[in-house]
């Protein structure tokens, strides 16, 4: 009994050290004697509004979603953008279409409003580059089976920026990243 407890305690301490050594949004699987493997996620991002003022002016091409072990991810493809991408991402009590102010219902326990400094049309010829329609779900984004994402709605493309409403399970921590010409919004599965 004493040796089993000592081995279990040592394993728990080693796992705790490993969890703190791994960076944000990483999952560590660990198993103690007689228990199934469990993933522990570290997502210390907070739920406050995040912004970046820079804008490249290139149009939005696509929006996709994917699932990870610790978070659900939405990716905004602004192909050809070379500079930092501008954005404003934060929780809102209600989602209103930019420009008109019309309310748009979004399912879920909380609404994350995302503004990306990229129009969904080509500013040179005004042709659409992303087929989103006001008040409708995002084209091609199926959230079936997602743990955190529950609903999406296209808001508007107004004055050089595109607005979407992302319905999530609750006001969970999120982060915003840029990878090349893609803007990434990750929302954690838990606190």
3-state secondary structure 87-117: EEEEEECCCECCCCCCECCCCCCEEEEEEEC
Task: Look at residue 1 in the predicted model and tell me its pLDDT.
Answer: 44
Claim to verify: residue 20 and residue 93 sit in the same structural domain: no
Claim to verify: residue 83 and residue 101 sit in the same structural domain: yes
Task: Look at residue 82 in the predicted model and tell me its pLDDT.
Answer: 80
As a whole number of angstroms, the distance between CA 38 and CA 77 comes to 33
pTM: 0.80
* Residue in 151, 138, 19 with CA at minimum distance from that of residue 72: 151
Q: How far is CA 94 from CA 109, 143, 165, 171, in A?
A: 11, 21, 9, 13
As a whole number of angstroms, the distance between CA 26 and CA 51 comes to 23
As a whole number of angstroms, the distance between CA 186 and CA 84 comes to 18
Task: Tell me how many domains the chain contains.
Answer: 2
Claim to verify: residue 13 and residue 84 sit in the same structural domain: no
Q: Where in the sequence is the domain holding 29, given as residue range(s)? A: 2-42
Claim to verify: residue 139 and residue 162 sit in the same structural domain: yes
Claim to verify: residue 57 and residue 9 sit in the same structural domain: no
Task: Look at residue 43 in the predicted model and tell me its pLDDT.
Answer: 86
Task: Look at residue 36 in the predicted model and tell me its pLDDT.
Answer: 46
Structure tokens belonging to residue 67: 């699932």
Claim to verify: residue 86 and residue 163 sit in the same structural domain: yes
Q: 178 and 85 in contact (C-beta within 8 Å)?
A: yes
Task: Look at residue 23 in the predicted model and tell me its pLDDT.
Answer: 39
Claim to verify: residue 78 and residue 166 sit in the same structural domain: yes
Q: Give the H/E segment covering residue 15.
A: helix 2-21
**CB-based contacts of 114: which residues, under 8 Å, 6+ apart?**
74, 76, 87, 88, 89, 163, 164, 165, 166, 185
Claim to verify: residue 26 and residue 60 sit in the same structural domain: no
Claim to verify: residue 37 and residue 70 sit in the same structural domain: no
- The CATH number given to whatever domain includes residue 85 is 2.60.40.3500
As a whole number of angstroms, the distance between CA 191 and CA 188 comes to 7
**C-alpha dihedral sign at 86, 91, 92, 96:** positive
Claim to verify: residue 116 and residue 36 sit in the same structural domain: no
Q: Give the H/E segment covering residue 17.
A: helix 2-21
Task: Per residue of the chain (191 residues), give pLDDT as tens.
Answer: 443 433 333 333 333 333 333 334 555 443 445 544 446 798 889 999 999 987 777 999 999 999 999 999 999 999 888 888 999 999 999 999 999 999 999 999 999 999 999 999 998 999 999 999 999 999 999 999 999 999 999 999 999 999 999 999 999 999 999 999 999 999 999 98
Claim to verify: residue 116 and residue 175 sit in the same structural domain: yes
| Torsion, Cα of 73, 79, 80, 83 (10° steps) | -30
Task: Look at residue 27 in the predicted model and tell me its pLDDT.
Answer: 56
């Amino acid at each position: 009994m004493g040796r089993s407890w000592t081995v279990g305690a040592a394993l728990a301490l080693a796992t705790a050290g490993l969890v703190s050594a791994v960076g944000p949004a990483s999952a560590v699987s660990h198993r103690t004697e007689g228990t199934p493997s469990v993933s522990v996620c570290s997502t210390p991002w907070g739920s406050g509004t995040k912004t970046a003022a820079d804008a490249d002016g290139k149009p939005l091409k696509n929006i996709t979603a994917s699932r990870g072990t610790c978070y659900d991810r939405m990716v905004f493809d602004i192909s050809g953008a070379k500079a930092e991408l501008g954005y404003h991402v934060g929780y809102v009590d209600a989602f209103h279409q930019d420009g008109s102010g019309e309310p748009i219902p979004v399912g879920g326990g909380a609404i994350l409003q995302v503004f990306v400094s990229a129009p969904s049309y080509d500013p040179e010829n005004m042709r659409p580059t992303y087929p989103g329609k006001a008040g409708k779900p995002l084209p091609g984004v199926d959230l079936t089976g997602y743990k955190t994402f529950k609903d999406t709605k296209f808001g508007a493309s107004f004055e050089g920026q595109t607005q979407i409403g992302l319905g999530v399970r609750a006001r969970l921590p999120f982060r915003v990243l840029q990878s090349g010409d893609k803007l990434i919004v990750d929302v954690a599965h838990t606190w």
